[in-house]
Amino acid sequence: EFIFFGTNLWHKNDITGKEKTIPLKYAERGFNSENIEEVHDYILDHVSPYDREGVKRNLGPTTIIREEIRDKAYYDDKLLDHACPMDIRRSEKIKRSRVPDIIGIGFAKCGTGALAFLDCHPSATFRTNEPRYFDKESVLDDIIAANETGNLEALRRHRKIYASRLPHAADDELLIEKSPQYAGGKDYIRKKRALAMKIINPNVKLVAIVCDPVKRAYSQLRMKARRTAVTGFHFVFSLVLRVFLSTD
Ligand SMILES: Nc1ncnc2c1ncn2[C@@H]1O[C@H](COP(=O)(O)OS(=O)(=O)O)[C@@H](OP(=O)(O)O)[C@H]1O
């Protein structure tokens, strides 16, 4: 068992009283404590020496937010920088931070992770984490509004933040990301999402993998069961309901 600390799971109130998020990419498996002193020690042990003083100052009253327990396979996968075990690269051009050429939009549990084999192609780069940049409606609205008003600065900012969640890639390589959540949600959200993706990169290609919805539901259930300690009829029943309600 381990607690999963994502990048935005730590909050504190600083002297201004505002809630802040401290990005903690280094908090990882093997650590399982809700003792605040231990948590702070753990954090400070794991930040880079350059960041330590700044982080220390920010470690005020911290609320620990416990996410669901993840299975080991998921965790190991997530920590890999690249999906391919080999580093094969044809391009001799310099890699840079940029938005992707291809987005795997779903569907969840249909083998979207298998797209990762493309990372072994000498001209493709794929990272197994899911950036989920187009998840939130507010982000989509912001991108669409920026495009409508010609706010290039805002669009540049969006591209920059999105790119920061992806590996660097040269211009003659194919940069691929996948976030199966993109295919989810209501129809109008998905339309906004598609539009926002097109605004961010007009040449973007989308890949969708579909599969038998019943197998998908079982796969989803098994994953949930792996990730949570809770079992029992009520849990399984509510999950089945959720899975089917979220499937159009
Ligand atoms: N190539 C290929 N063809 C068909 N199915 C495949 C393939 N590769 C992986 N899988 C199965 O896909 C399930 C995981 O799907 P995802 O990678 O999309 O999961 S996730 O949404 O990213 O969590 C998971 O299904 P279950 O094993 O039933 O859970 C994988 O076994």
Per-run averaged pLDDT (10 residues), the chain, 248 residues = 34 45 44 67 73 71 49 46 75 92 95 86 87 94 98 95 87 94 95 98 96 93 70 59 60
Tell me how far the alpha carbon of residue 219 lies from the centroid of ligand 1, in angstroms.
8
Residue nearest to ligand 1 atom 7, measured at CA: 111
Cβ–ligand 1 contact at 222 (below 6 Å): yes
pLDDT of residue 68: 44
Using alpha carbons, select from 160, 165, 192, 161 the residue that is nearest to residue 177: 165
Tell me how far the alpha carbon of residue 66 lies from the centroid of ligand 1, in angstroms.
26
Residue from 112, 118, 215, 216 whose mutation best tests the ligand 1 pocket (most atoms within 8 A of CB): 112
Where do the domains of the chain lie?
10-64, 72-208, 213-245
pLDDT of residue 162: 92
Complex prediction ipTM: 0.95
Other Cβ atoms closer than 10 A to 231: 9
Give the model confidence (pLDDT) of 172-186 as tens digits: 999 999 999 999 999
Cβ–ligand 1 contact at 217 (below 6 Å): no
pLDDT of residue 23: 41
Using alpha carbons, select from 6, 12, 9 the residue that is nearest to residue 57: 12
Q: Using the atom order of ligand 1, give the atom closest to the CA of residue 130.
A: 22
Average pLDDT, the chain: 76
What single-letter amino acid sits at 235? F
